[in-house]
Structure 1
Amino acid sequence: MLNETIILILFIIASVVAVIAKRLNLPYTIALVLIGLLLGFVNIIQAPPLTKEILYSIFLPALIFEAAIHLKARDLFREIWIVLTLVVPGVVLSTIITAGVLVGMGKEILHLDLPLTIAILFGAAVSATDPVAIVPLFKQMGVPKRLRFLVESESLLNDGTAIVAFVIAMGLVQHQISDPTNIGLMFFEVVGLGILVGSVIGLIIAYVIKYIDDPMVVITLTTVGAYFSFLIADSLNVSGVMSTVAAGLIIG
């Protein structure tokens, strides 16, 4: 079966699942995961090949930009200190706690002497949260908008901290980090320059859009902003995620 046919069938299945999930009052994302697991188990449909490049360069910028463009920059600045507390100390604390639990469980349960640096590397890899499964639940349960906003904002911005934490942990594992001052410089390079790149691109596109009345051109330029900000930042070895977030906030 051709990849195009498989993708079309998967879209049809996803649409049917959405209708059924709504009737059963079940969160769509959870229903979609369950059906995906079922299809994978019975192996009726051969999954199309998804490479790292496709996931990273095509899906990721669109998902991040869509979330960022719907956030109000004014609201973000009003809650900036709470969000930053969750994004920086929160992610670091999550990394350390995860590493500690992993080392403890390795010793007590598996009788495995796991190096702390490896545990920190794993903690950094899983420390960035993604609320995609619980945001629909928030809407259904009538959770206060402020809480939803904080969760969504933190999930957008925590990627920068998690990336830096992962790179630092990898450097510790490979014994490449000897000077602690490199950590602050690395954070600035990855996150700060990523935000700068995205801000410049976002400002240019937002300025151009102001003078355009054609909706199709506006949509095209917005899409260009999503991918251009990500790809340019990535080519400069800074955070494409933070660049896309910055561009989305400004264009939105």
Structure 2
Amino acid sequence: MDRRVSSVGGASLLAVLVASVVLAGIARRYDVSGPLALVVAGLLAGLIPGVDGIELEPDLVLFVILPPLLWSAGLESSYVAMRKNTRRIGLLAVGLPLVTTFAVGIVAYHTVPELTLAAALTLGAIVAPPDAVSATAIGRRLGLPRQIMTLLGGESLLNDATALTAYKVALAAAIGTASSWGTPVFTFALAAVGGTVIGLATGSLIVYVRTWLGDSLVESAIGLVAPFFIYLLAEEVHGSGVIAVVVAALILGQRSTKASYATRLQDTAVWKTLQFVLESFAFLLIGLQLPTVVAELKGISAQVLAIASAAVLATVIGVRIVWVFLMAYVPRKLSRRIRENEEAPTKSQVFIVAWAGMRGVVSLAAAFAVPVTTLSGEEFPGRPQLVFLTFVVVVGTLLLHGLTLPWIIKVLDVPGDDAHQDALAEAAAQTKAAQAAADRLDEIMAKQRPDTDVPERAATILRHWNDRRSNAAWEQLGRSDDEIGEGPAAAFRRLRLEMLRAERETFIAERDAGRIDDEVLRSVLRGLDLEEATLDRD
């Protein structure tokens, strides 16, 4: 019997997975926001008579969906940019979730009679963190400026660690037990330090192992299983699995320049596909929770639920707006160092960050993970209301922020990504790279034995193409050099590969010196990798 039920549940999840990919593909085809379309589709599906709710399994989200999405986001993040914005990201990823936890807890405690203070704080911790999936998925589609995406991405990568740790502490108090590994302060310290240490150790180890193997297929396979292993390992020692995965991913992303072109190209294709599938699956799952949530509300006052829903949702949104504006301007007023070292944000940029607080599937998973009973055997106080309010906050923020952000960006005239500035920086770096490639070619040709004139003819062609590549970077800002093909002889391929290595080294040096952004580096490395792939026939 158990096996049959398990098979039915697995079949349902498989159907949801297939449906989510199909619906997301259709949304992309018609240029509709995939996350919002999937959430609405799930909500509508739940209203169809006879369609049973598919209850979200917390372990499925926390141990299967979350780690690879954090890993993918970490690989795409810029360590350099995050380091420059450490203070701002810290205020968003640590300070804001804690403030939201207490604010929502107090409001929920006074609007939902069934909730104890500990249970209300548990709700506050559950809805405190904006979701990594929601922030990056919707932000990418809207084309938000890189500075804003750096803040939102850094926040969403790390705030889950803060909120989930606060959730453990509040939940322990609500069910009648203390944290098994010490006081709340020690719990936070252990989560942060443990997660960071494990992330640093495993990230460095994975880089070493992948380099030692030198096999792009195996390297990508290791990358696929790494986030699950790291997350589980960190959680087993009571560290933060979120921090561990993010730290390890940042290390691999920063050191991906040392990997082979085949590994980089393969990793990019694999992770973009997996990210698309998992994000689609997560958003459809959110909408499908409506029947399950509503089924638990029998006998509960609709008026109380309506008042509590409005109050909690308004608190979640309001606290974020107040906190973001205060932290954007108050520290600048108090610190001359901040004024001198950090560019002043515009009010429109601050408001976009304040308004982009979409919650997601991690909050729902945490809500469903709340036990039905306490240690004393009594029902967990206000659990149905807690789950319902979490659902309201998740769906409410997704729809409200997701639907209004494009309009707000247009009204506030927020500029898009720094495309022109990136193109200028890339052109400047390309000039240096072309010079490095020419110097490398001259160095190689000086050591050649002039047995035949074939290498010299190849060198002449390469010099001409190198000049044209450098000029094109200025004449056609932002466009790729796909017109460069492979040479007709082995000598041509060998020399061109050496030049590509010189260009790659120069671009990396420009990134390390802070003259180009990681996003620019990834763009040009992909062009070099693709060209190297066409030249390498082994």
Counterpart check, 1:198 vs 2:199? yes
1:47: how far off? 7.6
Higher relative contact order (CA closer than 8 Å, sequence separation 6+):
1
User: Aligned partners of 1:82, 1:33: CA distance in 2, in Å?
Assistant: 30
Residue 64 of structure 1: aligned partner: 70
Q: Which amino acid aligns with 1:62?
A: P
Change (3 A) 1:204 1:135: closer
Residue 125 of structure 2: aligned partner: 124
1:124: how far off? 1.0
1:65: how far off? 1.1
Counterpart of 1:128 in 2: which secondary structure?
Answer: coil
User: Aligned partners of 2:177, 2:107: CA distance in 1, in Å?
Assistant: 25
Residue 235 of structure 1: aligned partner: 236
Q: Which amino acid aligns with 1:14?
A: S
Q: Which amino acid aligns with 1:119?
A: A
Matches within 5 A, 1:30-45: 30-42=36-48
Query: What are structure 2's unaligned runs of at least 5 residues?
Result: 1-6, 254-538
Counterpart of 1:88 in 2: which secondary structure?
Answer: helix
Residue 109 of structure 1: aligned partner: none
1:20: how far off? 2.9
Counterpart of 1:164 in 2: which secondary structure?
Answer: helix
Counterpart check, 1:74 vs 2:80? yes
Q: Which moved more, 1:93-102 or 1:112-121?
A: 112-121
User: Aligned partners of 1:138, 1:61: CA distance in 2, in Å?
Assistant: 20
Counterpart of 1:210 in 2: which secondary structure?
Answer: helix
Contact persistence 1:225–1:247 (CA under 8 A): no
Counterpart of 1:149 in 2: which secondary structure?
Answer: helix
User: Aligned partners of 1:129, 1:171: CA distance in 2, in Å?
Assistant: 23
1:38: how far off? 2.9
Matches within 5 A, 1:1-252: 9-42=15-48, 51-106=57-112, 112=113, 114-173=115-174, 182-252=183-253
Encode CA deviations 1:109-128: one digit per residue, 9 max, x unaligned: xxx37433221121012111
User: Aligned partners of 2:242, 2:25: CA distance in 1, in Å?
Assistant: 32
Q: How many residue pairs get matched?
A: 245
What is the root-mean-square deviation in Å for CA atoms of aligned residues? 2.9
Counterpart of 1:198 in 2: which secondary structure?
Answer: helix
Contact persistence 2:93–2:154 (CA under 8 A): no
Encode CA deviations 1:94-133: one digit per residue, 9 max, x unaligned: 1111112213333xxxxx3743322112101211111533
Q: Which amino acid aligns with 2:92?
A: L
1:48: how far off? 7.5
User: Aligned partners of 2:194, 2:92: CA distance in 1, in Å?
Assistant: 21
Change (3 A) 1:240 1:215: same
TM-score of the two chains, using structure 1 as the length reference:
0.83
Contact persistence 1:129–1:155 (CA under 8 A): yes
1:152: how far off? 1.4
User: Aligned partners of 2:186, 2:11: CA distance in 1, in Å?
Assistant: 48
Counterpart of 2:70 in 1: which secondary structure?
Answer: helix
Q: Which amino acid aligns with 2:107?
A: V
Contact persistence 1:71–1:249 (CA under 8 A): yes
Q: Which moved more, 1:199-208 or 1:34-43?
A: 34-43
User: Aligned partners of 1:170, 1:140: CA distance in 2, in Å?
Assistant: 36
Contact persistence 2:35–2:138 (CA under 8 A): no
Task: Compare CA radii of gyration and give the structure with the larger one.
Answer: 2
User: Aligned partners of 1:43, 1:187: CA distance in 2, in Å?
Assistant: 45
Q: Which amino acid aligns with 1:33?
A: V
Contact persistence 2:195–2:243 (CA under 8 A): yes
1:162: how far off? 0.9
Change (3 A) 1:93 1:3: closer
